[in-house]
Amino acid sequence: MDELKYQPVPYDVEGDISKDLQNEEFRREYEALEPKYAFINELLSARRGSGMTQEAVALKIGTTKSAISRLESGSKHSPSITTLRKYAEAVGCELEIKLTPKKQKKTAD
């Protein structure tokens, strides 16, 4: 029975990403995803900070847990500003949308 014991395989995510970022094409694609994952992180942090579950948020704004799950997963569906406002209100936050100038690419001298 010992051979069936759970034995996790060590995996260094940050180390692998660090290596992959040396590839120019990978780095461009990785950086292009940054805003999407920053947005998802904002949603998750706000909900966790409120102490609410996905189900609790869903009940509060009149939707389903699966809809909240899709919103927080960054699925292909783009949420409306109304939905984002309801979500923000449910988790005790205010929705703030802002545009920031793009970062200038560094050029090698």
pLDDT at position 6, please?
A: 77
pLDDT at position 48, please?
A: 94
Ramachandran quadrant class, 98 (left: phi over 0; alpha: psi -120 to 50; beta: rest): beta
Judge whether 97 lies within some domain. no
Predicted confidence pLDDT, tens digits, the chain (109 residues)? 567 777 788 888 889 989 999 999 999 998 888 888 899 999 999 999 999 999 999 999 999 999 999 999 988 888 999 999 999 999 999 999 988 898 776 666 5
Judge whether 62 lies within some domain. yes
pLDDT at position 76, please?
A: 80
Judge whether 8 lies within some domain. no
Hey, what are 7's tokens?
A: 């034995």
pLDDT at position 66, please?
A: 95
Judge whether 104 lies within some domain. no
Judge whether 7 lies within some domain. no
Judge whether 33 lies within some domain. yes
| CATH number of the domain that residue 29 is part of | 1.10.260
Q: Which domain holds residue 31?
A: 14-90
pLDDT at position 35, please?
A: 87
* pTM value > 0.85: no
Helices 34-50 & 81-90, crossing angle to 10 degrees?
Answer: 30
